Amino acid sequence: MILKNKKALIIGVASKRSIATSIAEIFAKNGASIALTYQNDKLKSRVEDIASVLETSEEVLLHPCDLSIDDDIRNLKLDIKDKWGNVDIIIHSAAFAPRELLNGDYVDNITRDGFQIAHDISSYSFTALAKEFRDIISPCGSMLTLTYLGSERVIKNYNVMGLAKASLEANVRYMSHSLGNDNIRVNAVSAGPIKTLAAAGISGFNEILKHVEDKAALKRNITLEEVANTALFLASDQSSGISGQVIYVDGGFNISGV
Ligand SMILES: NC(=O)c1ccc[n+]([C@@H]2O[C@H](COP(=O)([O-])OP(=O)(O)OC[C@H]3O[C@@H](n4cnc5c(N)ncnc54)[C@H](O)[C@@H]3O)[C@@H](O)[C@H]2O)c1
């Protein structure tokens, strides 16, 4: 029960296969109080269903939040402040780029709008959460985001999302210095490929899975549970000395050469 008495806000549940769903499940099992958000009304009932089966003794808080809308982030904060007073853990497990950009030639397909949207939702929104929530995150609090190797290596079809993840990882470092003044830690988990709704938007995703299976040190793909267990460690006081880091949960794929 390493998250006993901790309050965790988890953003990014869209389906049972979402990384955020696995994180919510393991956090609940480890004693955390849970708040979940849903991006829009279409996803509301799905998130309600997921909330209803979490193994937690307390009511799960549910709130709409579209990360592209400042008022949504503000209302989320006001609701959390009202219900909980403060929050210990914020998980940012959300990203978006227009689908037509996650395919084909990077330069031919990029647009100014698509570039801005990808960076806004996938990187700036993490800072926006920090800015809004800073005064109610407890000392020893932890903020965590999800990133991918496409930030530093060229991955076919990942295109503009690679740039947005590079921005997100730089964001983790700058945020960790800024929030470190309040004893709040900021980290990222760089997960290997997992079939989720977001992953389905990337052309040729099955080829990526096969390549990782062949080349990763562990000769297999990783599981949702493995990502969630690392999130558990980074959210808990067990990782109290770690901030500003990108931790790879990818079966050792990122260190593989020839
Ligand atoms: N699946 C993978 O292979 C993989 C690998 C590494 C990193 N990641 C990252 O993990 C995170 C979670 O993705 P996932 O794979 O669980 O997919 P997912 O589709 O289940 O989750 C993506 C989430 O982003 C949310 N989102 C998108 N735009 C939003 C907005 N404007 N406001 C609020 N929420 C918004 C969606 O509602 C959804 O809940 C993403 O940052 C993704 O880039 C995924």
Residue whose C-alpha is closest to residue 198's, from 216, 220, 224, 172: 224
Residue 14 near ligand 1, beta carbon < 6 Å: yes
Average pLDDT score over residue span 171-200: 97
Strands 137-147 and 185-191: parallel
What are the extents of the domains in the chain? 7-253
pLDDT at 258 over 90: no
How many C-beta atoms surround the C-beta of residue 239 within 10 A?
Answer: 18
Residue whose C-alpha is closest to residue 33's, from 13, 56, 54: 56
Residue 253 near ligand 1, beta carbon < 6 Å: no
- For residue 95, report the distance from its CA to the centre of ligand 1, in Å: 5
pLDDT band (50, 70, 90) for residue 155: very high
Q: The domain 7-253 belongs to what CATH superfamily?
A: NAD(P)-binding Rossmann-like Domain (3.40.50.720)
pLDDT tens-digit readout, 194-250:
999 999 888 889 999 999 999 999 999 999 999 999 999 999 999 999 999 999 999
Residue 209 near ligand 1, beta carbon < 6 Å: no
- For residue 258, report the distance from its CA to the centre of ligand 1, in Å: 31
- For residue 199, report the distance from its CA to the centre of ligand 1, in Å: 8
Residue 121 near ligand 1, beta carbon < 6 Å: yes
